[in-house]
A and B are shown apart, each in its own frame.
Chain A
Amino acid sequence: GQQVMQIPQYQHVQEGEDFTTYCNSSTTLSNIQWYKQRPGGHPVFLIQLVKSGEVKKQKRLTFQFGEAKKNSSLHITATQTTDVGTYFCAGREGNYGQNFVFGPGTRLSVLP
């Protein structure tokens, strides 16, 4: 079945440094979503990417969908303490499937 992997598992950065997490799927995806979960909280939707090679930005966050639609990345510029949390990608194979398969997440710590 479909598998979604993320690296790194953990990342510790100094406030102001950049951060990138990578997501890789064993199969071609129709779309991919990114979620953020603060410690003790629940996942919150950040963005969805649909097109091959798509790049979207949200303030300091840049999301990219690979050309082959099997990988994606999330890059945060100049991290802040508010960026602390676990970032999950979730991929869907078909356009009408009900299910998104979540990656194991990357936990980000930001040292002030």
Chain B
Amino acid sequence: NAGVTQTPKFQVLKTGQSMTLQCAQDMNHNSMYWYRQDPGMGLRLIYYSASEGTTDKGEVPNGYNVSRLNKREFSLRLESAAPSQTSVYFCATRRQRIYNEQFFGPGTRLTVL
């Protein structure tokens, strides 16, 4: 089992370019999340999806859109990248029984010039 996978691992964009970050899970979890991580600021929630077909805004949704394509896949789109979106992006799923723990993907390191 691959767990949570993310593509790409690294990306450099110019200001104004668009791109989609892909996330897929084989854990059969309903909930999926997108976070960004900046130095000294921990993990901030961008969007989440409680189940297939639903998405909701998190703490920092501006400049992003998401799609929950099916139970396995949850993508994050930057329509017009800005330097302030330079960050490490993590996708996560959550097991909703017992420990509610989140399982994180390896991350995408994005630089916007």
Contact = CB atoms under 8 A, between A and B. Distances in A.
Nearest to B49: A98
B45 A42 contact: no
A31 B99 CA distance: 10
B101 A42 contact: no
Contacts, number: 52
Contacts of B103: 45
B40 A9 contact: yes
Given A9-B40, A42-B107, A105-B42, A100 B48 contact: no
Nearest to A45: B101
Contacts of B104: 42-44
Given A42-B107, A99-B48, A88 B43 contact: yes
Interface residues of B, number: 24
Contacts of A102: 35, 42-44
Contact of A98 (B31, B101, B106): B31
Interface in B16-47: 31, 35, 40-45
A70 to B, nearest CB: 18
Interface of B: 31, 35, 40-45, 48, 50, 56, 58-59, 90, 94, 99-107
Interface of A: 1, 9, 31, 33, 35, 41-45, 47-48, 88, 90, 92, 98-105
